[in-house]
Chains A and B, each alone.
Chain A
């Protein structure tokens, strides 16, 4: 049983560019949450998707947007990249009808230069 997978592993972008990160949830999970983790900090909640809708959102600007597909996989898009967007982006999946424990993927390390 594959766990949560994310792609790509690493990414280097230039300030002002746009980026798309991808996540496939654990088998049986229907909910995907995205987090940003800066170096030396805990993960910060960006948003959560369920049934292809954004269910909850943290304190992140509209430059951060997402999408969930019918197969429950998800994308995180960040527009107009800033140097401060450099971080580890984590995807977590869970089952809304189940125990709601969130299981994380390995993350995508984004570097903005």
Chain B
């Protein structure tokens, strides 16, 4: 079993819809959870950074962490065509080692 599992997609949704992206993990040593957005041929851009279980909101983005189920989610409200990108979940343990998921390709249809 891989340490971090993420459905590669692609995921296509109409503009304005709520998008739900998810990752599961197996290593209970992970303490910090991140979501990055990566446009084609660009470096990843940090969107959300969370530590504890629960929700964290930033504009149209909400990150959710459930440590008991080893499951994290990113919700995007009022999705826009400019949100079309690959979304990477990432997890860090106390030694600073970061493991990324494979990324989910998201297409927002105008």
What residues make up the interface of A, taking CB atoms closer than 8 Å to B?
A: 4, 6, 33, 35, 40-45, 48, 55-56, 58, 88, 90, 99-107, 109
* Residues of B within 8 A of A (CB-CB), count: 25
A105–B41 CA distance with the chains assembled, in angstroms: 11
Nearest to A10 among chain B residues (CB) is B41
Complex contacts, B44 vs chain A, CB 8 Å: 43, 90, 104
Q: A42 to B88, Cβ gap below 8 A? A: yes
- Quote the shortest CB–CB distance from A84 to chain B (angstroms): 18
Complex contacts, A90 vs chain B, CB 8 Å: 43-44
Q: B41 to A40, Cβ gap below 8 A? A: no
Complex contacts, B56 vs chain A, CB 8 Å: none
Q: B43 to A104, Cβ gap below 8 A? A: yes
> Is B108 located at the chain interface by the 8 A CB criterion?
no
How many residue pairs at the A-B interface have CB separations less than 8 Å?
A: 55
Complex contacts, B8 vs chain A, CB 8 Å: 40
A3–B95 CA distance with the chains assembled, in angstroms: 24
Complex contacts, A100 vs chain B, CB 8 Å: 32, 92, 96
Complex contacts, A41 vs chain B, CB 8 Å: 102-103
Q: B100 to A106, Cβ gap below 8 A? A: no
Q: A55-B96, A90-B43, A101-B34 are in contact. List 6 more A-B contacts (CB 8 A).
A: A33-B98, A40-B102, A45-B98, A56-B96, A100-B92, A104-B45
Complex contacts, B6 vs chain A, CB 8 Å: 42
A33–B36 CA distance with the chains assembled, in angstroms: 16
User: Residues 78-110 of chain B: 1 if any A CB is under 8 Å from the residue's CB, otherwise 0?
Assistant: 000000000010101001111111110000000
> Is B60 located at the chain interface by the 8 A CB criterion?
no
Q: List 24 A-B contacts (CB under 8 A).
A: A6-B43, A40-B102, A41-B102, A41-B103, A42-B6, A42-B88, A43-B44, A43-B100, A56-B95, A56-B96, A56-B97, A90-B43, A99-B49, A100-B32, A100-B92, A100-B96, A101-B49, A102-B34, A102-B98, A103-B46, A104-B44, A106-B42, A106-B43, A107-B43
